[in-house]
Structure 1
Amino acid sequence: MCGIHGIYRFDGLSVEPRMLSSMGDRIRHRGPDDEGSHVDGPCGIGMRRLSIIDLAGGHQPLSNADGTLWLVCNGEIYNFRELRSELQGKGYRFKTGSDSEVLLHLYDAEGDDFVLRLNGMFDFALWDARRRRLLIGRDRLGVKPLYVLQDWQRLAFASEAKALLALPGVSAELNREVVADYLHLGYVAAPGCIFKGIRKLPPATLLAVEDGEVREWRYWRLPEEIVSDLSESQWIERVQVQLDESVRMQMVSDVPIGAFLSGGVDSSAVVGLMARHSEQPIRTYAIGFSGGEAEALYNELPYARQVAKLFATNHREIVVQPDVVALLPKLLWHMDEPLSDTAFITTYLVSAFAREDVKVILSGVGGDELFGGYRRYLGGHYARRYRRWPGWLRRMASYAARRLPTDRHSGLLNNLRLAKGFMASAEMSSDERYRSYLQVLSRRHVSALLLEESAAGPSDSLARAFAAAGNEDELNRMFAVDAETQLPDDLLLLTDKMSMAVSLECRVPLLDHQLVELAAAMPAAIKVRDGRLKHLLKASLADLLPDEILNRKKRGFGTPMGAWLKRELAPLLKRLLAADVVQARGLFNQGVVNRLIADHQANRIDGTDILLAMMNLEIWSRIFLDRRDPADVAEELKSYVA
């Protein structure tokens, strides 16, 4: 696990080594153990290394025997031993025990198609000196991020956008074309980026520069064909085998390893399968909240303790309170881009906690997308039932639902929030209904919120994802959209950035691409049955986990931020979105901002996500646009709530 960066100059001039050093310095946290670079005329590549496998011999950049191929790679290749053995059988000689070295020889043997042989999470840069060709790429699901900057003079890349800001002539400017999409979804989807002039390389994508020409292409997509001739018991057997193999493969490490444990189905399954393959107790880490009803709804520690006891893990817990506000500037600096998902706070806190003991952690991220774990996946199921009601009854229900109070941080009001959201979307097409569940703020309301219509821009990442999702199976179509948008650009991005902020490697065995392909071929009726989310996955885990874990009520891995914004953090909200601040930025209509705050405070809407999206954009702007130190901004924010 590392951070990579590099430059290719179109003018043929030699890359200056100090430029690579400056880029690497910005992402030192990703690899505090080692650094290295290689310059060959117009191309220079570099890396910061977090040593996980072959601690002594895995220095990068790596090269082949005659120095014609050079590589930097961030991530882990889980099937490297099998590939290494195969390549040695073909006569290739290895200099190190590093998993990354297989990329060099596999590229030499098979060309660009070598990526199809890799099982892992990665981004890489490979310099082919023979062809004077640079090849960069990203793993299938987008577990590891890669940012690209291209102008008339150069193409540069890095694992984090801030490394590109170290280059001469590059300054932090707001990309106004993605602001509307950000406010709509709460994150910036690839290839978009919040920084003007920088973009994210999409998942499963390769980019080559040769003879001054840039070519980019997709090398893998989710399979669309549904396999309908297998029984449920056959699906269960296949899922059990692949789950076990995915976890086993991702436990390879030369340093201590642990697991995040929330007590939910996904993290509990990972821990249970890890315990099968370990002679020592698994180290597990959980996070909880103290306080009132809102905090209690997000506190999963009792479930985590139950699972830890079941598998006799070496279990540790951390309890946090709303003073996490002081962390926001630091975390947004690490994130590079603002977002509304409060899971980035909890992920950072539990990552820092785990890093006291281990260097590698396994997470259950991805299980909800693969196997139908989100409530939004039930929209079609309930919409079909709802449409059987008489028209007059539907009209009355819709009228009443619009007047329901809503608050996700209260048990009763959260149920009313879900009912209200469903009633508002029940008559929509499946795509638009799903958009209504995913959105932070509707596109219509985003247009009202933004001062300049031009700021809305043409970007609509969900529309692009729906257009590319050709699957007629409604549930798997939703999964395909998630795999193009929220999964890589929200969940996986925050997982990478927040774990790497503390130099912790986070692995996601539920997103092993073979398991993903298996899940994508599974009929919706088996994934989710009669309103039971994750039906097939739960059936597959029945011999591993108890019923009270398999069938417990789902709770997201976030914070009770909405409640805090009404209480302890209300002064922060009001100050960050005050008239003078909003006017100075010149983005938002103050009247709309005031209505959103008032409606959230009065429980007319649950405005947690959109309010946090605007607040985090302002904090991000102070750090990157105003060029202020995150610590200085943190002191300012603390003064607001003192």
Structure 2
Amino acid sequence: MCGIAGAIWTKPERAIELPVLERMTSALKHRGPDDQGLYQNGYRVRPPYDAQPGIALGHRRLSIIDLAGGHQPLANEDETVWVVFNGEIYNFVDLRRRLEGSGHKFRTDSDTETIVHLYEDEGPECFAHLAGMFSIAIWDSNRRRLVLGRDRLGKKPLVYRHEAGRLLFASELKSLLQVPGAPRDIDFSAIDEYLTYQYVPHPNTIFRGYKKLPPGHFAVWQDDELQVRPYWQPDFTAEHPCAEIEAVERVRELLNSAVKTRLRSDVPLGAFLSGGIDSSLIVALMQQQAGERVKTFTIGFPIKEYDESPYAERVAKHLGTDHQTLRVDPDAVRVLPQLAYHYDEPFGDSSAVPTWYVSQLTREHVTVALSGDGGDELFAGYPRYRAAALGGWFDRVPMIRSLFAANLWQSLPSSGRQKSRVRQFKRFASSLSLTPERRYLDWISIFNEARRGELYNEDFLAQLPNSDPAGFLLAAWKRTKGRDPISAASLTDLVTYLPCDLMTKVDIASMAHGLEIRAPFLDHRLVEFAAGLPVKFKHRNRRGKWLLKRAFGELLPNEVWQRPKMGFGVPLDHWFRNELRPLVRETLLDGQCTTQWFRREAISELIEDHEQRRFDHSARIWSLLMLELWLREWGGPQIPNLPAPTTSVTEAPSL
């Protein structure tokens, strides 16, 4: 698990010299504290050869497999193909056998070298043969092209900036900002998207001119042209009926295999354990296969309704794991400046806080941990999928839908708590007049369209382009045409919320501590199988994950399968009314607030309503708080002069 950075250029004045390359790479030291490697070859014109673009590749390494031989950048035998790689390739042993059979010679035992030789055989189509999590850059000197690739579910990040005569790329935006003169012009449409989703969706970033490579895509730079294409785009419109026993056996086979392949490591390994179904099931399968007590880790809160640690501790005792719990109190938000720095963009998912701390705790004991991410999207675990199903029923009965959508329901009194039954009903009823996809967007939005309109001032509205943040989710929903409401919502989440929120949250928080996270549920073979399952195998009797219980029910106590989903939440509603009340007011309402695009009275009203318990606005306040802290961190001056490199450099071969 690592960090990568680099550039390719066709104009000498756009060159990335060694001091700049080291600065870009060193900005990712937290992702790879064990080793650093650089490769640089300047732009050259030597007739009768065609001009050779300049190339720079940088790598920071967290050693997991082949501790002695996995140094990068890594090349083929004649050094015409070079690679830098962040991630893990789980099927590299099988690929290696195939490649050796076709004549390739290996010098290391690393999965990285497999990528080099696979590219020699397959070109950019090599990514479709890889099973794992990755962001990869490949320099092909014979063809004078740079190829970038990202894994199917977006577990590993890859950002780039394509400008005249140069392409820059890196694992994180902060690396690209090390280039002298790198612009930091904020994209106002990205602010609009952030306040909608609590993240900036791909391919956009918070800065104009910088892009994220979408999951399941590769990009080819050649002759100053950049083409981005998908290599994995499963058909979500297709449902594949099968017998119940067949579905049970297949999910057992796939999930057991996914866990087994993710247990391979040359360093200590453990697991996140929340006490919910997904992480508990992964730990149970690990414990079956590991042959020793699995080390497990969880986070607890002093407020009972947010504290899953007792459930995690009961599961740990049941499974016999070596378990550690860390208690988190309101003082934990002292980490907010670090979050603003590490996330590079505004990021409004407050569960980044417990994810940060559980990563920190886990890294004190192990270098690799497995997680249960992906189970909710694949097997319909989120409570909002029940609302999607109910909305679908109302859509089939227009007269009843019209009655429930009437404004008279909004006059019902309700508590200020976001999860109160009456408030949930009122929100559901008010959205019934919308199309299913617009309705779903309205439910998951942090600030829906109406609330954003109330928040923005005239100056900000004038700068917004004529674009709709809804387009990101609507395009994903369109891919599920013909599927039932639960399948449509869960598959939409699989390609939007999961890569842009969950994978970003986990990757940044874990890599900030040099910890690798592996997610067995996101094995692409399991994802493809689950995507085609009929909804009856996922959701029955108003509960999700039916097939998981049918296949693995005996591995966990019945209370794990039966208890309501809590989510990895933070008691913000309580903290913002008590311990963190001064922080919120001082940050968002004082004269130093940099978010001058919003109506101060609208923010004040949100805070007042929350403090007086008229409404739980904690998610909205948190999103505004993180936006403000991000602006204070990243809205400063350009990067100053750079030091000389202090790391050994791989010399480029001469022509």
TM-score range, shorter-chain basis?
A: over 0.9
User: Which range moved further: 509-518 or 440-449?
Assistant: 440-449
Q: Against the structure 1 CA distance between its residues 87 and 253, is the aligned structure 2 distance closer, same or farther, given a 3 Å change threshold?
A: same
Quick one: which amino acid aligns to residue 25 of structure 2? G
1:623 correspondence with 2:623: no
1:553 counterpart (546, 550, 564)? 564
2:609 counterpart (599, 604, 607)? 599
CA contact (8 A) 1:527 1:535 kept: yes
1:504 correspondence with 2:509: no
Match of 1:280 in 2: 292
Offset of 1:262 from its aligned partner?
0.2
Match of 1:226 in 2: 238
Pairwise mapping of residues 376-395 of structure 1 onto structure 2 (< 5 A)? Answer: 376-383=384-391, 394=404
Instruction: Give per-residue Cα distances to partners, 1:328-376, cap 9 Å, x unaligned.
Output: 0011211111222111110110000010110001111111111101111
1:180 correspondence with 2:192: yes
CA contact (8 A) 1:268 1:545 kept: yes
Instruction: Give per-residue Cα distances to partners, 1:30-72, cap 9 Å, x unaligned.
Output: 0010010112231111110000000011000111111111000
User: Which range moved further: 125-134 or 459-468?
Assistant: 459-468
Match of 1:352 in 2: 360
Offset of 1:246 from its aligned partner?
0.6
CA contact (8 A) 1:136 1:207 kept: yes
CA distance in 1, matches of 2:406, 2:496: 35
Quick one: which amino acid aligns to residue 290 of structure 2? S
CA contact (8 A) 1:172 1:196 kept: yes
User: Which range moved further: 572-581 or 398-407?
Assistant: 398-407
Match of 2:375 in 1: 367
CA distance in 1, matches of 2:202, 2:296: 33
User: Which range moved further: 533-542 or 330-339?
Assistant: 533-542
Offset of 1:143 from its aligned partner?
0.4
CA contact (8 A) 2:70 2:108 kept: yes
CA distance in 1, matches of 2:500, 2:341: 16
CA distance in 2, matches of 1:447, 1:397: 21
Match of 1:479 in 2: 490
Pairwise mapping of residues 418-457 of structure 1 onto structure 2 (< 5 A)? Answer: 418-451=424-457, 452-457=460-465
1:164 correspondence with 2:171: no
Match of 1:639 in 2: none
Paired residues in the alignment total 620
CA contact (8 A) 2:409 2:426 kept: no
SS at match of 1:52: coil
CA distance in 2, matches of 1:502, 1:392: 52
CA distance in 2, matches of 1:417, 1:34: 53
SS at match of 1:379: helix
CA distance in 2, matches of 1:428, 1:506: 39
Offset of 1:399 from its aligned partner?
2.0
Q: Against the structure 1 CA distance between its residues 173 and 265, is the aligned structure 2 distance closer, same or farther, given a 3 Å change threshold?
A: same
Offset of 1:418 from its aligned partner?
3.0
Instruction: Give per-residue Cα distances to partners, 1:572-607, cap 9 Å, x unaligned.
Output: 11111115244x532101121122112222333321
Offset of 1:196 from its aligned partner?
2.9
Match of 1:640 in 2: none
Pairwise mapping of residues 390-401 of structure 1 onto structure 2 (< 5 A)? Answer: 394=404, 399-400=409-410
CA distance in 1, matches of 2:209, 2:258: 38
- The alignment's C-alpha RMSD in Å is 2.1
SS at match of 2:4: strand
Match of 1:11 in 2: 11
Quick one: which amino acid aligns to residue 356 of structure 2? Y
Instruction: Give per-residue Cα distances to partners, 1:52-104, cap 9 Å, x unaligned.
Output: 00001100011111111100000000011111111111111111111111110
Which structure 2 segments of 5+ residues have no match? 43-53, 640-655
CA contact (8 A) 1:434 1:478 kept: yes
SS at match of 1:150: strand
Quick one: which amino acid aligns to residue 132 of structure 1? R
Match of 2:313 in 1: 305
Instruction: Give per-residue Cα distances to partners, 1:531-553, cap 9 Å, x unaligned.
Output: 12222222222122221101111
CA distance in 2, matches of 1:242, 1:269: 13
1:213 correspondence with 2:225: yes
CA distance in 1, matches of 2:638, 2:147: 35
Match of 2:645 in 1: none
2:528 counterpart (510, 513, 517)? 517
Offset of 1:470 from its aligned partner?
2.6
CA contact (8 A) 1:362 1:506 kept: yes
1:406 counterpart (416, 428, 453)? 416
SS at match of 2:323: strand
CA contact (8 A) 1:71 1:104 kept: yes
SS at match of 2:93: helix
1:248 correspondence with 2:267: no
2:573 counterpart (558, 562, 570)? 562
Match of 1:96 in 2: 108
CA contact (8 A) 1:146 1:157 kept: yes
Runs of 4+ in 1 over 6 A off after TM superposition: none
CA contact (8 A) 1:579 1:590 kept: no
1:259 correspondence with 2:271: yes
SS at match of 2:553: coil
The percent of aligned pairs where both chains have the same amino acid is: 39
Which structure 1 segments of 5+ residues have no match? 630-642
CA distance in 1, matches of 2:425, 2:538: 23
Offset of 1:322 from its aligned partner?
0.5
TM-score normalised by structure 2 residue count: 0.91
CA contact (8 A) 2:137 2:148 kept: yes
Quick one: which amino acid aligns to residue 269 of structure 1? L
Quick one: which amino acid aligns to residue 175 of structure 2? A
Offset of 1:188 from its aligned partner?
0.6
TM-score normalised by structure 1 residue count: 0.93
Offset of 1:18 from its aligned partner?
1.4
